[in-house]
Chains A and B, each alone.
Chain A
Amino acid sequence: MMDTFAALAHGMAVAVQPMNLLYALIGVFLGTAVGVLPGIGPALTVALLLPVTYKLDPGGSLIMFAGIYYGGMYGGSTTAILINTPGESASMATALEGNKMAKAGRGGPALATSAIGSFVAGTIATIGLAFLAPWLVDFAVRFGPEDYFALMCVAFVTVSATFGDSPIRGLTSLFIGLTLGLVGIDKLTGQARLAFGVPELLDGVEVTTLAVGLFAVGEALYVASRRHHTEEKLEPVRGSLWMTKEDWKRSWKPWLRGTMFGFPIGALPAGGAEIPTFLSYSTEKRLTKYPEEFGKGAIEGVAGPEAANNASAAGTLVPLLTLGLPTSATAAMMLAGFQQYGLNPGPLLFAERPDLVWGLIASLFIANCMLLVLNLPLVGLWVRLLAIPQPWLYAGILVFATMGTIAAKPSVVELSMLAGFGVLGFLMRRFDFPIAPVVVGLILGPIAESQLRRALAISLGDPMTLLQSPISATLLGIALVALLAPFVLKGMGRFKANED
């Protein structure tokens, strides 16, 4: 343990060198900027910067990449809250409550709780990275396909909280998402499904295209269609611009719980950032003292997922640094960055180049502080966006959404899909179907499917493998309890009512 402290102190000394501080600053600035634009994620930015940084010293450029990585996670939530356009799939859960808050004039507190929550989660998770990485990675490696499938089952059961009031409508939405998830080349057999001979569809439906189409374009269409009925009054600021005492009280627990979901799941090789954000959202919805506010702008629904989002970003670095396992697109790019300097992340990196590893971890702390300093003063500026007259604002959102989609994938098909999803989003809003389950289905469906089939291929078709692994058995048990608990509780409630 003392060794870790000494190493970290040494890393800190590396990271606070003026040049490295500058790299970190450039990194977080670029990261925030790209995170804001849907479609251009941190992975693309790192890819574009790789050839430029090749002349810099390894330490400095890796520190910059880490800044971009954390910055991207921050930036994505800004647009999710303000204009209902999640910059990345991981900030989708944030959009659910965050945008409702912004429309109710509480955009300031929403942005603040997301910035501070990201800071808290990022810091705790980075501490976790420094001290727990070697143990956590042993656990993460033991996670087999059957365990991932069980984790997906837990996720499916719990995210049903995003289904809104009518389970039938929620399930309808979910199945639209699951169907979209089938599009493209089947990962296990290489056969095309539901692609209709269109080569662009062979890679499947891009999550950001779907999310931006449903959320942003759909909403723009909906607002336009309502324009002559009742004009929705948008107030940029109602009450305090900053978080009130009440907001703090309602935020700190979701921050911590979000971190608890985000860090370990992010550290799993196939965990990702989306699952912990949804798990956090549904947990907060169950635990909140103000259930009536969910769906109308509950601060817990922003604080939790945002914390989970950032904690998982730190979690991703656990397998990257200890095993050389890139588990997200950005991590894969950072791995390429390491290799550019002839460094192979993996079990030997901590021993061979401790200065670099600990310098990187230390600079994550610094990047976190910089992001807070960079983002909090911007909150006041950002919320002014909401004062823009509605037709202009939504026209801007459409341009923004289209540009992001084209930048990520310059293709007519992609753009048509965006428009198609926009119309779908409009119709779903018009007829009161919840939108989030569609995206949940698209994200979780394919993972659940391929992990289950992998597990069965390994066990030669024996389904008992799902119960033989202790992790999987436990998780399936949790899923079952979560599924049955509401009915049981309801039944008991009726029993009590009869007694009276």
Chain B
Amino acid sequence: MFKFPARLVGAAVALTLAAATPVLAQQLELKLMAPAAPGGGWDQTARSMQQALVAAGVARSVQVTNVPGAGGSVGIAQFVNGAKGDGNQLMVNGFVMVGALAMNKSPVTLEQVTPIARLTEEIQVIVVPANSPIKTAQDLAAAVKADIAKVTFAGGSAGGVDHVMAALFAGAVGADAKKINYIPFSGGGESLAAILGGKVTAGISGMSEYEGQIKSGKLRAIGVTSEKRIAGSDIPTFKEQGIDLVIANWRSVVAPPGITPEQRKTLSDAVEKMVKSDAWKEILKQKGWEDAYLGGDAFADFLKKETVRVTDVLKSVGLVKS
């Protein structure tokens, strides 16, 4: 049976999409790296950008490449070394990469890339099984304060946003974050089973992962990590329950090091135009992503602050040796 390698198929898809755009489109031909395997959040972000950039007429073609490995550590190393000074390349990244780079002692850091923009974020939630005696965030806080080792948190991979959030929660309620009993599962699916089965005290994940179970009443959401309540939702925030816990799983896009200010401006403008396009808004709606656009220097500042915050938390739980 004759087969095309995946990359060719990807390129063919990109070409087909490109062919459908108006002739007026600019001559921008972008290469966009998703430093993860196909299917995950970064890959979906990259493929959505590909769709929106072309549909909005910002770029003539966008080619998505996948470089999976170690929470993006492999991808960013290749990006920083291989794409240096290339004004036609972009890479998707996000919260998880900050922790992964610190934990893997990566020689390449996010300080080396050129920040372009934050694109989306997902609000995090803490849930408990419907029959749990814990009803509010304060109940959970009391349990954590009484005996932190007995409160088991289920969530995603070690050092990821869920893990960082568990540590921040313990810190925010005045317990010793070092002692949290966090049980990492691969992917939200497995942790969901452990929560529904009552094997753990509480579960932490992105809102979309648990939405169905929350609506059907199998899980109780005791708090979300946004500043204000999510529109149309009656789940209280941690802030209004007196716990200072604001965090989101953000995703962003960066350019290689060593590009000129003009190149940076071209890329930033292109991304800004894409973010404002109807095609992008349509995709956000479909995927349930929150628009969290933050461009230019504001994003660069944010990236720096978030790196410090995450690294501190990971040090406090012993994942990163100082």
Contact = CB atoms under 8 A, between A and B. Distances in A.
Interface in A289-347: 319, 323-327, 329, 332-333, 336, 339-342, 344-347
A284 to B, nearest CB: 29
A32 B1 contact: yes
Given A33-B3, A190-B159, A336-B39, A51 B199 contact: no
B281 to A, nearest CB: 14
22 contacts: A47-B38, A51-B50, A142-B197, A187-B158, A199-B73, A199-B104, A202-B73, A202-B104, A269-B192, A270-B190, A319-B193, A323-B192, A323-B196, A332-B39, A332-B189, A339-B287, A346-B215, A348-B216, A406-B5, A410-B67, A458-B199, A460-B181
Secondary structure call for the B interface: helix
Given A187-B157, A190-B158, A202-B104, A40 B6 contact: yes
B212 A47 contact: no
Interface in A28-71: 32-34, 36-37, 40, 43-44, 46-48, 50-52, 54
Contacts of B265: none
B187 interface: yes
B93 interface: no
Given A185-B104, A458-B183, A44 B212 contact: no
Contacts of A33: 1, 3
Contacts of A325: 189-190, 192-193
A260 to B, nearest CB: 22
Given A190-B319, A348-B215, 16 more contacts: A44-B39, A46-B39, A47-B38, A47-B39, A142-B197, A188-B184, A190-B103, A200-B74, A202-B73, A203-B69, A325-B189, A332-B39, A349-B212, A407-B5, A410-B67, A411-B67
Interface stretch (B7-15, B24-32, B132-140, B268-276): B7-15
Interface string B23-51: 00000000000000011000110010011
Contacts of A143: 193, 197
A425 interface: no
B46 to A, nearest CB: 10
A230 interface: no
A347 B216 contact: yes
A33 B50 CA distance: 26
Interface in A74-113: none
A327 B193 CA distance: 10
Interface of B: 1, 3, 5-7, 9-10, 13, 16-17, 38-39, 43-44, 47, 50-51, 67-70, 73-74, 77, 103-104, 106, 149-150, 152, 157-159, 181, 183-187, 189-190, 192-194, 196-197, 199-200, 208, 211-213, 215-216, 218, 285-288, 319
Contacts, number: 172
A375 to B, nearest CB: 11
A409 interface: yes
Contact of B186 (A187, A191, A202, A347): A187
A145 interface: yes
A403 interface: yes
7 tightest A-B contacts by CB?
Answer: A346-B212, A47-B38, A202-B70, A190-B158, A347-B216, A269-B193, A325-B189
Contacts of A319: 189, 193
Secondary structure call for the A interface: helix
A417 interface: no
Interface in A349-397: 349
A41 B187 CA distance: 19
A205 to B, nearest CB: 13
Contacts of A340: 286-287
Given A51-B13, A143-B193, A347-B213, A187 B184 contact: yes
Nearest to A341: B286
B198 to A, nearest CB: 9
Interface of A: 32-34, 36-37, 40, 43-44, 46-48, 50-52, 54, 140-145, 185-192, 199-200, 202-203, 269-270, 319, 323-327, 329, 332-333, 336, 339-342, 344-349, 403, 406-411, 454, 457-458, 460
A34 B6 CA distance: 10
Contacts of B181: 457-458, 460
Contacts of A189: 158, 319
B157 A269 contact: no
Contact of B212 (A145, A269, A348, A409): A348
Given A199-B77, A403-B5, A344 B196 contact: no
B196 A141 contact: yes
A51 B15 CA distance: 13
B5 A339 contact: no
A338 to B, nearest CB: 10
A409 B1 contact: no
A333 B319 CA distance: 30
B33 to A, nearest CB: 12
A200 B192 CA distance: 29
Nearest to B43: A47
A493 B218 CA distance: 55
B208 A339 contact: yes
Contact of B194 (A32, A44, A144): A144
Nearest to B216: A347
A333 B9 CA distance: 17
A45 B192 CA distance: 26
A397 B103 CA distance: 39
Contacts of A199: 69-70, 73-74, 77, 104, 106
Nearest to B319: A190
A401 to B, nearest CB: 13
Contacts of A341: 286
Given A52-B13, A324-B212, A348-B215, A185 B193 contact: no
B104 A192 contact: yes
Interface centre among A185, A200, A403 (most CB of B within 10 A): A185
B149 A460 contact: yes
Given A47-B39, A48-B10, A190-B157, A203 B3 contact: no
Contacts of B6: 40, 44, 48, 407-408
A48 B183 contact: no
B228 to A, nearest CB: 23
Contacts of A32: 1
Nearest to B212: A346
B4 to A, nearest CB: 9
B159 A346 contact: no
Interface centre among B39, B197, B285 (most CB of A within 10 A): B39
B187 to A, nearest CB: 7
Contacts of A342: 285-286, 288
Contacts of B51: 51, 54
A326 B189 contact: yes
Contacts of A202: 69-70, 73-74, 104
Nearest to B215: A348
A361 B99 CA distance: 41
Contacts of B44: 50, 336
Contact of A407 (B7, B183, B211): B7
Nearest to B199: A144
A190 B160 CA distance: 10
A457 B151 CA distance: 11
A202 B70 CA distance: 5
A74 B73 CA distance: 35
A406 B67 CA distance: 11
